[in-house]
């Protein structure tokens, strides 16, 4: 079973419920779990639209605390209350844009579990780190520092230089990192690949050993593209 996740990032208005309605109407893709992570403003609305269907709804970030004086932040418990089942934590756009450390990402992942959500913990090297031959050491440090101690979680490997650029690692490069990551995780932990996943390259990327699904940005905003990516998962029957 592969997990195909749409990360809408800072895109989507109330009218975007039509995207989830289209995914629901299209029916399940056998062998594939679909998850859509909209901005927090849309979680409750989309969860309502997807209720009882094969589409799950998640969020993009949470605060470590269950409540408190944290203006502008959102607790994992609030996301669960709104109908989310998963939450992305430690995306590079937050690690870099909001100076999030491994320790903070771990606290957020643990908070997600406390609230009954499955955290999707993102890791991945920058272009400079890859060019310096540091990919595996960066990924090892991020794994050691940002995973929750126990419980269920998902890891997403997203090379920073592949996000929104149309550039992707070769299948060999993906295979190297995914095998390295999988060897450091409890058996059965899904490891998603993310970074410029499109209908045209999804089949090749999803067939790489130890790739358990995809974290999709831009292409997740178009139901046809998102469904084509899901249908490209090994074993998928659309
Ligand atoms: P793109 O698919 O737009 O490259 O984004 C990837 C990503 O960051 C998903 O979390």
**How confident is the model over 174-180, as a mean pLDDT?**
98
Centre of ligand 1 from the C-alpha of residue 18, in Å: 21
pTM, to two decimals: 0.98
Q: What is the CATH number of domain 2-231?
A: 3.20.20.70
The finding on whether 104 has its CB within 6 A of some atom of ligand 1 is no
Q: Could you report the per-residue pLDDT of 130-143, keeping only the tens digit for each?
A: 999 999 999 999 99
Report which protein residue has its CA nearest ligand 1's atom 7. Answer: 217
Q: Report the atom number in ligand 1 closest to the C-alpha of 88.
A: 10
Q: What is the pLDDT of residue 140?
A: 98
- Does residue 190's CB lie within 6 angstroms of at least one atom of ligand 1? no
Strands (E), 52-167: 55-59, 86-89, 118-123, 154-157
Ligand 1 pocket member 118 (CB < 6 A): no
- Report CA Rg, the chain: 16
Taking only the tens place, the pLDDT of each residue in 52-107 is 999 999 999 999 999 999 999 999 999 999 999 999 999 999 999 999 999 999 99
Contact (CB, 8 A) for 123 and 142:
yes
- pLDDT digit string (tens) for 106-164? 999 999 999 999 999 999 999 999 999 999 999 999 999 999 999 999 999 999 999 99
Residues ≥6 apart with Cβ < 8 Å to 54:
24, 27, 28, 29, 33, 34
The answer on pLDDT for 238 being more than 80 is: no
For residue 61 and ligand 1, the question of a CB distance below 6 A is answered with no
134 C-beta neighbours (distance < 10 Å), count: 15
Query: 42: helix, coil or strand?
Result: helix
Say whether 158 is catalytic.
yes
């Amino acid at each position: 079973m592969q997990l195909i996740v749409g990360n809408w990032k800072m895109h989507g208005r109330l009218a975007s419920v039509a995207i989830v309605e289209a995914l629901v109407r299209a029916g399940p893709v056998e062998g594939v779990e679909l998850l859509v992570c909209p901005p927090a403003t849309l979680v409750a609305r989309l969860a309502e639209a997807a209720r009882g269907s094969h589409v799950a709804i998640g969020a993009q970030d949470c605060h470590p605390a269950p409540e408190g004086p944290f203006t502008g932040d959102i607790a994992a418990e609030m996301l669960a209350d709104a109908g989310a089942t998963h939450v992305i934590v430690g995306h590079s756009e937050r690690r870099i844009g909001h100076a999030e450390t491994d320790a903070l990402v771990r606290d957020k992942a643990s908070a997600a579990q406390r609230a009954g959500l499955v955290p999707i913990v993102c890791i991945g090297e920058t272009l400079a780190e890859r060019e310096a031959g540091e990919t595996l050491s960066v990924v090892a440090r991020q794994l050691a520092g940002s995973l929750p101690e126990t419980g269920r979680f998902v890891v997403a490997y997203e090379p920073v230089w592949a996000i929104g650029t149309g550039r992707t690692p070769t299948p060999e490069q993906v295979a190297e990192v995914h095998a390295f990551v999988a060897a450091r995780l409890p058996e059965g932990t899904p490891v998603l690949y993310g970074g410029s996943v499109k209908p045209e390259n999804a089949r090749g990327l999803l067939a790489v050993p130890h790739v358990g699904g995809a974290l999709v940005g831009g292409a997740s905003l178009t139901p046809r593209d998102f469904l084509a990516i899901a249908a490209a998962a090994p074993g998928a029957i659309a």
